[in-house]
Chains A and B, each alone.
Chain A
Amino acid sequence: MKKSLILAACLLAAAVLPGCGELPAEPAVSTVPAAAETVPADREATLVVYLPDDDGMHVSPRSLKVTAKEKTLKNALFQMIQLDRKSAWPILPTGLTVKDVNVKDGTAVIDLSDELKHLSGGTTAQTLFLAMFVNTATEFPNVKQVVFQMEGQPIASLGGHFDMTRPFKRDESLIRMEKK
């Protein structure tokens, strides 16, 4: 039953993705043909994204079944934003998109659209924002830390609270432990 649910979710994701006309196209899906040589592009893979809990204290992992060629950092962040917006208590601003992702020497530079300015006030929402992006990005073995940009420019502070000039490392304390 669970498997069929996951499959249904997977199908749903597949069905939803190409339909999002107003969002930038996902280059990740079409621009990695090289991967097909070592790992078949349509082989099943798992993406882990982190989403806020209802009480705003932690984020929890969510596994998504994708094909190997869809297992990119940019797609993971894209899926994460979609799932947050569809949740009961979304924390990310409407229209927020990932403009670009660049990984070099273990540092992922995530460039976000200027809707980031509309991130809600309060340390809780901002903490969750960081926990979602940094923990999702560091699920990829080649990403050790994350730097944020907005519209290609460095960000000094987020919403009047966080110092954004330094790279952020994975913070396991913000991830809810598995329930027994």
Chain B
Amino acid sequence: MKKFLRFLTALAALLFLPLLAAEAGAAEVTALRTAARTDGNPPFVRIVLDLSASVKAVASLDKSGDTLTVTLKDTEAASSAAKTYSVDAQNVDDVTLKNDDGDARLTVDMKHETAMSDIKVFALKANGNLPQRLVVDIPSVSSGSSSSDAKSPSSGGVKGSSSAPASDKKILKGKVICIDPGHGGSDVGAIGTLKGKSIYEKDITLSIAGPLRDMLRDAGAKVVMTRSTDKDVARAYAGDAEELQARCDVANKAKADIFVSIHIDSFSNASVDGTTAYYYPKTGRDLLLARALHQSMMTNMAIPDRGVRSNDLYVNMHTDMPACLMEMGFISNTHRLSMLTSSWGPKRIAETMYQGIVEYFKQID
């Protein structure tokens, strides 16, 4: 019966899609992109194929329900686009695009069984600089397990700012969280360049900290910021240690439950990118906090993994509570810098950090 249903849904896709894009011909897939999105409920991975012309597409699931195949009829995948993309975010492991006997075939390997009715496949018309596109959205959870989804605080609710899920409020109520937007004022931090313009780390860290503060407050936490504007915490041109100690003092005086420092990394090799969670083992829970924040980044964002590392970072050592310094990608990487300076990037990171913080308190309570 179940098999028959799957057959039906696959068939439905077959009938439906050609309506969206009727014109067949020698179309080409010029590029493929993936992005882990947290702005839906449930969060989803979006796969976008850029097309040179309209195509006919057929989507089907295999028997086990964890491999989706989308065949683009009479279409050729450009050699630069035809390859395997390691996504490893949410429900998606890999995405493969290849040429198969005159058709282009997209295969999506999912981590668990997903219903065809939860997968969205649709066409987008050319718009401005954007070409025609075929979009595939893979949900992080299938509606088959929607009851557990509704309970999960990490399954959304942070999209707007109106209200956090009740379960988050229960977890975060009364918690004191110190957020430290790295650098500021006379200390610009690392410097990147985008379209000939200098971009400062201090501005990006603040643009992430703001939405994070709002989300945490909305969920009932007491948030203490080391700075909310572009300023030095100690005083302008203070020595590094004096400035860093002033940040630790803010957290220590507030008797914060956790201290989270937001930074953007930099390296001479511009192709390097990724996120690292740094901790210093002093309270017994520093590693736990770093792991929770790191895990959230890995689950909710498409960003290379540089691990959870222990070292002697000043703010991690000199705060009294569990602390973690997160490096959120590289300012020296143009692709990452575009994301970090976009209208949505900092908010996405804030949402991801929020979920990591909720997860941490869930684990220790």
Q: In the complex the two chains form, is A160's CB within 8 Å of B327's CB?
A: no
Assembly CA distance A125 to B263 (angstroms): 13
Q: Which of A54, A57, A121, A163 contacts B314 (CB under 8 A)? A: A163
Does A60 sit at the interface, judged by CB under 8 A? no
Residues of A within 8 A of B242 (CB): 156
Q: Which of A11-19, A70-78, A85-93, A103-111 contacts the other chain?
A: A85-93
Q: How far is the CB of A111 from chain B (nearest CB, A)?
A: 18
Does A113 sit at the interface, judged by CB under 8 A? no
Q: In the complex the two chains form, is A160's CB within 8 Å of B183's CB?
A: yes
Convert A119-155 into 0s and 1s, putting 1 for each residue whose CB lies closer than 8 angstroms to a CB of B. 0111111010000000000000000000000000000
On whether A163 and B318 interact (CB within 8 A), knowing A123-B263, A127-B311, the answer reads yes
Q: How far is the CB of A115 from chain B (nearest CB, A)?
A: 15
**Contact size class for A?**
20 to 34
Tell me the residues in window 135-158 of chain B with beta carbons closer than 8 Å to chain A beta carbons.
none
Q: How far is the CB of A32 from chain B (nearest CB, A)?
A: 34
Residues of A within 8 A of B312 (CB): 162-163, 166, 168
Does B267 sit at the interface, judged by CB under 8 A? yes
Q: In the complex the two chains form, is B327's CB within 8 Å of A157's CB?
A: no
Q: Which of B189, B201, B269 contacts A88 (CB under 8 A)? A: B269
Q: Which residue of B lies closest to A56 (CB)?
A: B267
Q: How far is the CB of A77 from chain B (nearest CB, A)?
A: 20
Q: In the complex the two chains form, is B240's CB within 8 Å of A156's CB?
A: yes
Most chain-A CB neighbours within 10 Å: which of B183, B201, B269, B272?
Answer: B269
Does B331 sit at the interface, judged by CB under 8 A? yes
Q: In the complex the two chains form, is A121's CB within 8 Å of B311's CB?
A: no
Q: In the complex the two chains form, is B189's CB within 8 Å of A125's CB?
A: no
On whether A121 and B189 interact (CB within 8 A), knowing A156-B239, A157-B239, A157-B240, the answer reads yes
Does B330 sit at the interface, judged by CB under 8 A? yes
Q: In the complex the two chains form, is B330's CB within 8 Å of A122's CB?
A: yes
User: Which residues of B are in contact with A by a Cβ distance under 8 Å?
Assistant: 182-183, 187, 189-191, 201, 239-244, 263-269, 272, 276, 278, 306, 309, 311-314, 317-318, 325, 327, 330-332
